[in-house]
Structure 1
Amino acid sequence: MQSSFSQILIALLLLFFSGSLLANVPKEIPVSELKPSLTHQKALLLTTRVMKRYHYKNHKLDNSFSKEILKKYLQMLDPNKSFFLKSDINEFERLYSNRLDDDIKNARLDASFAIFKRFRERVDKRMNKAVELVDYPFDFTLDEKYLIDREDAEWAATQKALDSLWRKRVKNDTLALHLMDKDDKEIKEKLTKRYEGTQRRTHQMSADDVFQTFMNAYTGALEPHTGYMLPHNAENFDITMRLSLQGIGAVLKSDNEYTSIQSVVPGGPADKSGLLHAGDKVIGVAQGKSGEMVDVIGWRLQNVVEKIRGKKGSTVRLNIILKKSGSSEITKEIVLVRDKIKLEEQAVKSSVIETPDGMQGKRIGVIDVPTFYRDFQGASSGNKNFRSTTRDVRKALKELQGKGVDGIVIDLRDNGGGSLTEATELTGLFIKSGPIVQVRDYSGGIEAERDPDPELVYSGPLAVMVNRNSASASEIFSGAIQDYGRGIIIGEPTFGKGTVQQLIDLSNYVSSGKDMGRLRLTIAQFFRVNGASTQHKGVTPDISFPTIIDSDYGERSYDNALPWSKIKAADYSDWKTARLDKAESSHKKRIKKDSGFIYLQGQSQLFHNLKNEKSVSLNEHERKAEWAKKENQRRELRNEYRRSIGLSPLSKADE
């Protein structure tokens, strides 16, 4: 399970931008300096006060909540259960499980710092032993397995058990590099740097870092989109929002000791290359065409971000573990050229496609909407030509109708949302009038956002394409189109992001002028006009496509995410124009013989088989055989599809 805000905060702020916001190499912090400050205590009290007053989710700061905070904090420090012993956990639970709520009310932070100091001790001990194991002559002919996913594993009961775990961990790391054709000397150098780097970065965590980690355990134990930013991170946020959007165009998150791709930005270098995908893990970063590939396994997220970001036109090479390889951990080096992500690349685009003759030669207009954008400054200043999603779609609709299209498809795949105003106004282009979405705030009050314009721009056949990454404003639009019966929703279940956040400057609550940081607070929830929330469940398509993305993805995967709920439906009129029964029947017949759908279903099955793999073989022959088997399965599936559409099959050499 994941924690949304705390995992991707730094990457989301910095990965797109050049500059030197975090250019200084942090120093190692003496243990004596790891103690809470008066500013930390005041920020804790302010956060508690604001959360109690304005957070959408009703909560009590009691012993039950205290247990959740402790659990979250330990999870954030040691997500793969590789450092703490079971005896440590038992001690922490005995001392703190029923105490953190009282500590927070009284601005006491000693428990969080005591736990972190123990964590630092455990990291020191483990990394010293790991470095010693680098010289161990491992036998890769033995039948051994290494558990790579320890989320559901128990904490190691003894030092001996932890020693065994780390022996297998180092053996797995060694084998992985060996299979990448690294010689013994290079393997030892890389692993020594990796383990010593993990130890060094733990020593570089300051009192501020410890405080922010605990604060995000506190806020994340309540709800995943609520989080705290230290003053300097808040300042970086302000700076980056004023800079040109440039970089590789990807959002990263922490994934145990790895850094993985959360998403790619439409129009960015990563998106255009087609080489980087959500779920891929970054294990190495190199600068330029010939720079040294630096191993980043075990690095802090912000340090990986610093390595990846850079100036427009510069080259970065990434060594990645492909998500599609599962436990086999197949690696690939990719080359990306950093670039400015132009707003035009995220603007609305339209095209016309001709359906096959067997489908009576229909002409379909496709409008790609990558995000819900709006030039708020231009709109407020009275600029009659300000850019917005709705304005651009309106123009595209009129152009497509002028070309005599037989229907329109709005493509919202990978559209993560944007302006609520745009979601509301865009829906209004396809209906005459009525409510679009209902919003319930932290006080329980409900307001309906309505179509502001009675003009009906397009009344013909309509379909909306969505996938797992369609979120927030995309879900408002597609949900409204579905509720009104205005069109057919096609694709995958959407992300399930149905809440509203506000960034609050805690300094506004003190008179001293001292910067207290920022609090990102969930203050409201969206509900469709039929009364159902888009939260957690998202929008279920009328016509479903096979997917290679987990069903446990998006909001469903976040710890403590708000559950799905329902309120009274708004007053609206169903168009009843979408012929779902006929569409569903035709779809079911089509997918049984359509080679494209058969290929998608095969990909989906392969992915889900890989997802269920929790361990990996430490036997070299077996590991190679696993790789070869998976590659052969993928190649054969792809070649079946190629043969079905008249193309010659690919050999291993062709790939």
Structure 2
Amino acid sequence: MRIRTGFIGLFLLLAPSAYSLELRSPPVLSPLQNQAEAAQLSAQFLGRYAYKPVPLDDALSAKIMDRYLKALDPDRSFFLKADIDTFMVDRTRIDDAIIGEDLKIPFSIFNVYSQRVVDRMTFARSALKQGFDFSVQEDYPLSREDEPWPQSETQIHDLWRKSVKNDWLRLKLAGQSDATIRNTLDKRYENIQQRVYTYKSDDVFQSFMAAYTTSVDPHTDYFGAAASADFDISMKLSLVGIGAVLQERDGYTTIRELVPGGPAQLSGQLAVGDRIIGVGQDKDGAVKEVVGIRLDEVVQLIRGEKDSVVRLDILPAETAGNGTHRVISLVRDKISLEKQAAKKTILPVEDRGVARKVGVITLPAFYEDFEARRKGDKDYRSASRDVAKLLGELKQENVDGVLIDLRDNGGGSLAEAIDLTGLFIGKGPVVQQRDATGRVEVESDNLSKPAWAGPVGVLINRGSASASEIFAAAIQDYGRGVIIGEPSFGKGTVQTVIDLDQAAHNSTPKFGQLKLTIAQFFRVDGGTTQLRGVTPDISLPGLSDPKTLGEASYDNALPWAKIKPAKYTASGKTAALLPQLQSRHEDRVKNDRDFQRFVEDAAELKAQREKRVISLNETERRNEMTALANRLKAREQADDGFLRSEDDGLQANERSLSADLAIENARKNAKDVLRTEAASIVADEAELLASGRKASVRP
């Protein structure tokens, strides 16, 4: 099987939320027949075609149960031990349930979970009326994932009392009054409680299938219809809609951002903060009220066919809930998601009296419009095509070197990883693949010559995975450039997406898609990035937690392995420069205040992660705040305002939209000390290579 169009990235699916429903008994959700059939069909594919098949037996059944419970209640703060004991009766029966197309077990567990959420939030809201004594010595556990399940209502109430007390104390330390704190938290817990009433059968099934597939392999996954659509959008960087980023706020679908050039922005009829309270189809279709409706459902109503009309009932940002609203009409169009596309900037670097220019290309994902490519569209969108254009522009701007920023790039198209590598190495092998039969295939790029032959740096971190690791590893193995940053994620497997409806010959979508691991990739030097990732040539500090982020954090990750190297020719130029590059890097950063402060922050964050509990004593917490404030104040005086935001105790949807956007913009505009240093390393590389060339031509 040839899998140049395989998927090798990390994709996260976030469940949306909606609020403002009347409190009542949680709905009892039941499995649908098509879901049971989809699970059974998925089991067939997993048993036959997975890279490392895992038998669907009692042992796997137990793992699925454990993963499912952990996904529902990771901190063990909703279920009681008695609940768990009841569930465990069926711990080895899930395999039979899947094979027999009877999914009552996971649905019955979820129904109990929904009731427990209502129970816990009812208690949390009642605790707000009691008040708290912040003078006593008491601790709150920051994580309970490894703790025993609470044995009684008394124990679990004490856990939630401490949780509410901690939430209250955070707001109190931020200067909020008791009345404001009580209102804020009551609304927060009510929102969590009301979310239960928006769950649907598809949500339960998606959660259960995630527990099943990831028990087989960390990167095998199941996509329902909505998740499949979002996956396709993320790969082709386009959709048909109105060009607005939407967010749920207080039960309203709120406009958070207008996409430049989209129908919403061009109409001049919408503004950030406006609320959509109704959606109608076509020029005269009835307008359906959407207040309190799940965000994903509103989004599906707004998306549609290109050139079709959608009508929106708008409550302006400045208008109260019962104020005047208006209905507007927009014509849907194709929207390009440029924020996820490759982009460039030029960083000036001055060192040792020499000014150099480094072109930085930031690539968030290895995207490719597969459908357009299959149709023969000569202008189909892809990461390598976009980067090739940017390299051409940087050449025209006479940059001295290029830095490819792959931080937090979770991967994507395998073909794009190969094509992108070719832009820097030209013709040659890029990656090797071994399938389930043990057959090894070498994947090469056939570009006659590189698009960029100058100095190269690749900036990676723990979030750089899969396709990012293929590219970085090839650049490193060929000696084509210097790899800078943290060790990467360590994902060395290839996935393909199987359309279950196509496999079952369904005329209408019912079953969704299965993302299945079918191969393992290896570097051209024969090693794999699996588990170990790519080790940078020059290390930079990072903020990630390797215990929770990375292949090594999975209990069923494949081991590291090695095969025969491919036939390739490596250059020794970059390797020869590494001692000098390392020395210059160390000399530079030891006197760089911004860099050293980043090192301090990374160390502080690591220390915070290692704390198991937090004090609920107000005096102790204020002393901690004072110490932090003094440290930040000293920084501010030292470097003209290098600030860090303080904890306001609020969640994102509890701040005003303007405050949220201000925080987001501050983060975007914050100094990127790692990118700055990486660019300096590339500038050093350019200088040393130029010096070497001059020396080689001397008589």
Deviation at 1:406, TM superposition (A): 3.9
Matches within 5 A, 1:119-518: 119-231=113-225, 234=228, 242-244=239-241, 246-247=243-244, 288=273, 342-350=336-344, 352-358=346-352, 360-374=354-368, 388-398=382-392, 400-401=394-395, 405-510=399-504, 513=507, 515-518=510-513
Q: Which position in structure 2 is the counterpart of 1:632?
A: 630
Letter in 2 for 1:620: E
Q: Which position in structure 1 is the counterpart of 2:586?
A: 588
Change (3 A) 1:638 1:466: farther
Letter in 2 for 1:517: G
Judge conservation of contact 1:130–1:195 (CA < 8 Å) in 2. yes
Q: Is the counterpart of residue 9 in structure 1 residue 43 in structure 2?
A: no
Change (3 A) 1:406 1:197: closer
Judge conservation of contact 1:28–1:205 (CA < 8 Å) in 2. no
Q: Which position in structure 1 is the counterpart of 2:47?
A: 52
- The TM-score with structure 1 as length reference comes to 0.75
Deviation at 1:72, TM superposition (A): 0.8
Whole-angstrom distance in 1 between the partners of 2:317 and 2:462: 28
Judge conservation of contact 2:489–2:531 (CA < 8 Å) in 1. yes
Whole-angstrom distance in 2 between the partners of 1:308 and 1:639: 47
The CA deviation string for residues 261-287 of structure 1, in whole angstroms up to 9 with x for no partner, is xxxx9x99xxxxxxxxxxxxxxxxxx8
The size of the alignment, in residue pairs, is 575
The CA deviation string for residues 618-650 of structure 1, in whole angstroms up to 9 with x for no partner, is 22232232223223334434654x2xxxx5888
Judge conservation of contact 1:215–1:228 (CA < 8 Å) in 2. yes
Matches within 5 A, 1:21-60: 33-60=28-55
**Which of 69, 73, 89 in structure 1 is aligned with 2:64?**
69
Whole-angstrom distance in 1 between the partners of 2:132 and 2:339: 50
Change (3 A) 1:245 1:224: farther
Equivalent pairs: percent with the same residue? 42
Whole-angstrom distance in 1 between the partners of 2:442 and 2:185: 57
Judge conservation of contact 1:599–1:638 (CA < 8 Å) in 2. no
Whole-angstrom distance in 2 between the partners of 1:120 and 1:76: 13
Deviation at 1:192, TM superposition (A): 3.6
Letter in 1 for 2:529: T
Whole-angstrom distance in 2 between the partners of 1:509 and 1:393: 36
Letter in 2 for 1:568: K
Deviation at 1:242, TM superposition (A): 3.3
Deviation at 1:488, TM superposition (A): 0.9
1:43 alignment partner, SS class: helix
Change (3 A) 1:437 1:604: same
The CA deviation string for residues 585-617 of structure 1, in whole angstroms up to 9 with x for no partner, is 333343333434322212211221222233222
Judge conservation of contact 2:465–2:488 (CA < 8 Å) in 1. yes
**Which of 80, 85, 90 in structure 2 is aligned with 1:85?**
80
Deviation at 1:489, TM superposition (A): 0.9
Long gaps (5+) in structure 2? 1-7, 249-256, 261-271, 277-292, 304-311, 319-333, 647-665, 667-699
Letter in 2 for 1:504: I
Higher mean C-alpha displacement, 74-83 vs 97-106: 97-106
Judge conservation of contact 2:97–2:103 (CA < 8 Å) in 1. yes
Deviation at 1:574, TM superposition (A): 1.4
Whole-angstrom distance in 1 between the partners of 2:641 and 2:501: 65
**Which of 538, 544, 549 in structure 1 is aligned with 2:539?**
544
Whole-angstrom distance in 2 between the partners of 1:176 and 1:218: 38
Whole-angstrom distance in 2 between the partners of 1:153 and 1:343: 43
1:539 alignment partner, SS class: coil
1:356 alignment partner, SS class: strand
Q: Which position in structure 2 is the counterpart of 1:118?
A: 112
1:500 alignment partner, SS class: strand
1:355 alignment partner, SS class: strand
Whole-angstrom distance in 1 between the partners of 2:472 and 2:561: 18
Letter in 1 for 2:570: D
Q: Which position in structure 1 is the counterpart of 2:308?
A: none
Q: Which position in structure 1 is the counterpart of 2:323?
A: none
2:566 alignment partner, SS class: coil
Deviation at 1:247, TM superposition (A): 4.9
Q: Which position in structure 1 is the counterpart of 2:603?
A: 605
Judge conservation of contact 1:371–1:418 (CA < 8 Å) in 2. yes
1:221 alignment partner, SS class: helix
Letter in 2 for 1:102: D
- The TM-score with structure 2 as length reference comes to 0.71
2:216 alignment partner, SS class: coil
Long gaps (5+) in structure 1? 16-21, 253-264, 269-286, 292-301, 318-339
Deviation at 1:416, TM superposition (A): 3.7
Whole-angstrom distance in 2 between the partners of 1:454 and 1:477: 18
Judge conservation of contact 1:138–1:171 (CA < 8 Å) in 2. yes
Judge conservation of contact 1:536–1:561 (CA < 8 Å) in 2. yes
Higher mean C-alpha displacement, 467-476 vs 163-172: 467-476
